[in-house]
Structure 1
Amino acid sequence: MAEFCSNCRLFHESRSANAGLCRAHPPRAQADGSAIWPSVNRNDWCGEYRQIPPPENPGLRKMVI
């Protein structure tokens, strides 16, 4: 699967068919005191990509058991 924003679990789809919001980091403060999530296109990408669903971690399971 390509590592595009639209395939990332941190991507929140908006009403626009081609855009959404990136939830990788907290919303950014604006001059008027509000805060917004960064807007991204579906085919954008970055270094914060997370698979949908998160990959299984068998090492973690061994630690819990």
Structure 2
Amino acid sequence: MALTTINGAACAKCKFFDTEATNESLGLCRYNPPISQPSGDQAGVWPKVEASDWCGHFEPVAA
């Protein structure tokens, strides 16, 4: 059974979803700062999320 949200909230419709670095169905969540990596010589990364994912931080994209 798939979980649904009120008004179809999904990462693809969220202002924190960034598809510039990936494709239409996969993106980066820019809500929180990048996650640091175990080795100090690697840059931090943002979590990868599916366009159909959702969370409690959803904010719609401004029209």
Report the TM-score, using the length of structure 2 for normalisation: 0.76
Moved over 3 A (4+): none
Matched, 1:12 2:8: no
Which 10-residue stretch deviates more, 44-53 or 11-20? 11-20
The CA distance in 1 between the partners of 2:22 and 2:34, in whole Å, is 19
Unmatched segments (≥5 aa) in structure 2: 1-6
**Map of 1:8-47 to 2, 5 A cutoff?**
8-13=14-19, 14-33=21-40, 34-47=43-56
Which structure carries more helix by proportion?
Answer: 1
Aligned length: 54
Structure ID, larger Rg: 1
Which 10-residue stretch deviates more, 19-28 or 45-54? 45-54
The CA distance in 2 between the partners of 1:35 and 1:52, in whole Å, is 25
Unmatched segments (≥5 aa) in structure 1: 55-65
Give the corresponding residue for 2:9. 3
Report the TM-score, using the length of structure 1 for normalisation: 0.73
Partner SS state of residue 27, structure 2:
strand
Identity of aligned residues (%): 33
